[in-house]
Structure 1
Amino acid sequence: MQRIHIIGGGLAGFTAAITAAESGAPVTVHEAHHTLGGRARTTEEGPYLTNEGPHALYRRGPHRTWLDRRNLLGPTTAVPPLEATRLRFRHRSVLRRTPPLALLRLSRRSAARVPADLDFRTWATAQAGEEGARLAAHYAAVALFHHDPGSLSAAFVQERLHRAGALPPEARYPIGGWAQIIDRMASRAWNLGVRIETATRIDTADLDALARTGPVVVATSLDAARTLLRDPTLTWASGRTALIDLALRTRRGDAFAVSDLDAPGWIERFTAQDDSLAPAGEQLLQGQFPIAPDESRSAGTARAEELLDLGYPGWRERTVWRREALATGRTGAVDHPGTTWRDRPAIDRGNGVYLAGDQVAAPGLLSEVSFNSGIEAALLALRATENHTTTDHTTTATSSPASTSRTPLDLKRA
């Protein structure tokens, strides 16, 4: 069989690599960085383990079952019942213990018959009134990372609202951060014979050379893929989000999470479900605050601090570590009215090149898009190798002199 090349060592890349290798194909993963994981990388900031923005696996998501069947999921945890009672809502500048009734009613509705060609604000207003629509849109931002959820496709937003508001909660959290899953996936790939090359930055000339030796799956961000494939059509809308990470000295009575219903925003105490993320006596908070294209990161940070004042009294004096970032186009696809996931950039780019990631034509919620597209890209690549006459092509991939091929034990987190 031809060798299948995977460009990108994140969730989509390793899903594709494992799928292809399980069918017996020779596979090489090319990762530009020295460490694996992409946006699923868990960073060690001193004693704190943080992801790039809040991360969670959703219980009904397809990749949870796929990972679990291969013993790749590892230990996960849910929000403890007592902590779940400490979810708070900012509504009309006041911290409340219960969500408005209109929000509850909308979150219970399935997205099965919600139109995709209508914006969520218009559709939800007809169901629950103008204020109910606004509150539901802001709450759904926890799974959207977008500054104006009401302007997006009604079907798209409602699916995320329904799953984010499910009871019991769907969210599950890998203990120790998402890098634990990536480490297990890398080990699984290695045991299947996948060659993993880190510090291998592929350019357009390298891509052309690789494509002559076998199918190529580009499992990078859409921006990187657009440059690599020299294809200006590889564009799709995403969010722009201010991220904040905080370590606070523990105080009894702090909220588990605070949802901002006055504007899109969410802050969560991740050590409530996984105390390994911070030292004893401290708690790790991560927040996301979508901002408009013309807003500064400081505007999102200011909103974060307002929410902290309400849900975490005395947080300034208790802060022992803080980090801020801006995520632009790195929070997954959003679908505008009249579009669905089928309208996003196609996985099959022709000439043996395939696309995987969280902004391409695959269904799912956030990271589920990466997972589904990774599997589809691998299956298409396998089909291409089956139709190929190996006598006309080589199956040996050559790596850049600057690259390094390592065992999973060598692939340490940064």
Structure 2
Amino acid sequence: MARRITIIGGGFGGLTAAISAAEEGAEVTLHEAHRRLGGRARTAQGPYRTNEGPHAFYRRGPHWAWLRRRGLVGPLARIPVGDLLRMRYRLDGRLRALPPLGISRLATRRDAPVGRTFLGWASEVAGERTARAAANFVAVATFHHDPGLLSAAFTQERLRRAAGLPPEAVYPVGGWQSVIDRMSARALELGVRIETGSRLEALPPTNNPIIVATSLDAARRLLDDDRLTGESGRTLLLDLAVRSRRGDAFVVSDLDGTGWVERFTAQDRSLAPAGEQLVQAQLPLAPGESKESGLARAEQLLDLGFRGWRERTVWRRTAVAAGRTGAVDRPGTTWRDRPSVDRGDGVYLVGDQVAAPGVLSEVSFGSALEAVSLALVRGRVRQFSR
């Protein structure tokens, strides 16, 4: 008899789990509460093809090779060399073409300790000014208001990945939705039963394994488990469509504070109508900081890198993402200290705030593969014990 697995959640982690389990011969049913699959990887249908905040793949991550082997990445958008040269950094209130050289030196280190703050350790290595600029730069890969307060090992890994040369970040043409669409098609080819608009308020009654691939908040409610907590970032998201103008920056990174603005149509013109550019920003918010404060900081970065952007704006959207930007690790903790994948009684947890290594979506990917492996082992044990 084929093994049966139920998956709750049709985002990147849930689809990874569904494909992996089906490839091993399991009968898989996937429940997604929304009408569209993808979770935070969903891309708006247009005319402005936005994601929920800036999205990119880090091509040295484990999910990259897995997706490529299955033909799920698809065509990639290439950043023109001219735009790569238009990366800008705010430092000491001015826009600069290059970050402090010490950031590159910090990015290549491999000895950052788990038990110290990044700011404390990096200040000893490169000086406090460079350490603070490096910490602020890493906000793009942590969505945290002060990465300098986090574990040095945690923050330095993200600095290494985000500041590496050549850049690790790559962009699927059409946004992440194109990858999600290919993943869902692959799941269907493998016989996965996908039920959209299927919101579950409790775990289904079954003796077969269940994989919960939702946000940690949703999993806590679904499993009625108060232990499912974890620290994450709170971030202002700003999407703009502006009329095109030569000379706009490709990226503006705030090294005086924390924030990142990126012109996504630099690499993928399909994301906005002809003659317009799609700009997306994320500004991590400190505890108690208002949305208005974050917007004011975002507009300062836009003023520096996108001259006349207010008069050129044809569409605008803002939101605040709370607790949905991946786990962060404080000094003395690692990914192993987050909620475990195996919750007992045949229930497994998948997501970007659980106990799996990696950066951003890599955590969801790693936890998905581990959950499937554990679920299939449990299924075999139950089958042999009958």
Shorter chain as normaliser: what TM range? over 0.9
Q: How far apart, CA to CA, are the structure 1 residues paired with 2:79 and 2:106?
A: 23
Residue 260 (structure 1) aligned with residue 254 (structure 2): yes
User: Which residue of the partner structure matches residue 131 of structure 1?
Assistant: 129
Unaligned runs of 5+ in 2: none
Choose from 288, 298, 314 the match for 1:294: 288
Structure 1 match to 2:157:
159
Equivalences for residues 43-82 of structure 1 within 5 A: 43-44=44-45, 46-82=46-82
Question: Partner letter of residue 43 of structure 1?
Answer: A
1:89 matched to which residue of 2? 89
The one-character-per-residue Cα deviations of 1:42-101 (angstroms, maximum 9, x if unpaired) are 012x41100000000011011111001001111112322211110001011111111112
Question: TM-score, structure 2 length as denominator?
Answer: 0.98
Q: Is 1:270 matched with 2:264?
A: yes
Partners of 2:383 and 2:254 lie apart in 1 by 58
- 2:44 partner amino acid: T
1:256 counterpart letter in structure 2: F
CA distance in 2, matches of 1:389, 1:332: 36
Q: CA deviation at 1:103?
A: 2.0
Question: Which stretch shows the higher mean deviation, 72-81 or 224-233?
Answer: 72-81
Q: Distance in 1 between matches of 2:247 and 2:85?
A: 11
8 Å Cα contact 1:2-1:390 kept in structure 2: no
Tell me, what secondary structure is at the counterpart of 2:382? coil
Secondary structure of the corresponding residue to residue 388 of structure 1: helix
Correspondence for 2:193 among 191, 195, 198:
195
Q: Contact 1:256–1:272 at 8 Å: present in 2 too?
A: yes
Counterparts of 1:143-222 in structure 2, within 5 Å, are 143-204=141-202, 207-209=203-205, 212-222=206-216
Identify the residue that residue 353 of structure 1 maps to in structure 2.
347
User: 1:370 aligned to 359, 364, 368, which one?
Assistant: 364
Secondary structure, counterpart of 1:313 in structure 2: coil
Q: Which structure 1 segments of 5+ residues have no match?
A: 393-414
How far apart in 2 are the matches of 1:77 and 1:379?
33
In 2, distance between residues paired with 1:293 and 1:2? Answer: 46
- Measured after TM superposition, the shift of residue 161 of structure 1 is 0.5
SS at match of 2:226: coil
How many angstroms does 1:390 deviate by?
A: 8.7
Report the residue type matching 2:67 in the other structure.
L
Within 2, Cα distance between the matches of 1:125 and 1:79? 33
Aligned counterparts of 1:347 and 1:310: Cα–Cα separation in 2 = 44
Distance 1:233 1:266 in 2: 33
Q: 1:237 is matched with which residue? A: 231
CA distance in 2, matches of 1:208, 1:276: 41
- Give yes or no for contact 2:342–2:349 (8 Å, CA) kept in 1: yes
Correspondence for 1:122: 120
The C-alpha deviation readout for 1:371-401, integer Å capped at 9, x for no partner, is: 1111110111111111113997xxxxxxxxx
Distance 1:85 1:364 in 2: 28
Match of 1:404 in 2: none
Alpha-carbon contact 1:258-1:307 (below 8 Å) kept: yes
| 1:314 corresponding residue in structure 2 | 308
Question: How far off is 1:113 after superposition?
Answer: 2.1
**What's the CA shift string for 1:215-239, capped at 9, x where partnerless?**
0000000000011111101111100
Secondary structure at the counterpart of residue 321 of structure 2: strand
The CA deviation string for residues 285-329 of structure 1, in whole angstroms up to 9 with x for no partner, is 000000112011111110000000000000000000000000001
Listed one character per residue, the Cα deviations across residues 316-369 of structure 1 (whole Å, up to 9, x for unaligned) are 000000000000011100000000001100000000000000000000110010
Q: Partner residue of 2:11?
A: 10
One-letter code aligned to 1:283: Q
Report the Cα offset of residue 203 of structure 1.
Answer: 1.4
1-side partners of 2:175 and 2:63: how far apart? 16
Give yes or no for contact 1:120–1:151 (8 Å, CA) kept in 2. yes
Report SS of the residue matched to 2:175: coil
> Which amino acid in structure 2 is aligned with residue 2 of structure 1?
R
Give the whole-Å Cα distance in 1 for the aligned partners of 2:39 and 2:298: 26
Alpha-carbon displacement from aligned partner over 1:147-183 (angstroms, at most 9, x marks no partner): 0110000000000001100111000001001011111
Q: In 2, distance between residues paired with 1:285 and 1:257?
A: 9
Tell me if the contact between 1:78 and 1:171 (Cα under 8 Å) persists in the aligned partners: no
In the alignment, which residue of structure 2 is the partner of 1:403? Answer: none
Cα distance in 1 between the residues matched to 2:385 and 2:349: 27
> How many residue pairs end up in the alignment?
385
Distance 1:158 1:391, change over 3 A: closer
Q: Partner amino acid for 1:99? A: P
* Alignment RMSD (CA, Å): 1.2
CA contact (8 A) 2:3 2:25 kept: no
> 1:104, CA displacement in angstroms?
2.6
Seq. identity, %: 64
Counterpart residue type for residue 331 of structure 1 = T
Per-residue CA distance 1:14-48 (angstroms, 9 max, x = gap):
1001110001010000001111000100012x411
Given residue 58 of structure 1, which amino acid in structure 2 is its aligned partner?
Answer: Y
1:3 to partner: Cα distance: 1.3
1:114: Cα distance to partner? 1.2
| Corresponding position of 1:396 | none
TM-score between both structures, scaled by the size of structure 1:
0.91
Per-residue CA distance 1:268-289 (angstroms, 9 max, x = gap): 0000000000011100000000
Mapped partners of 2:146, 2:98: distance in 1: 23
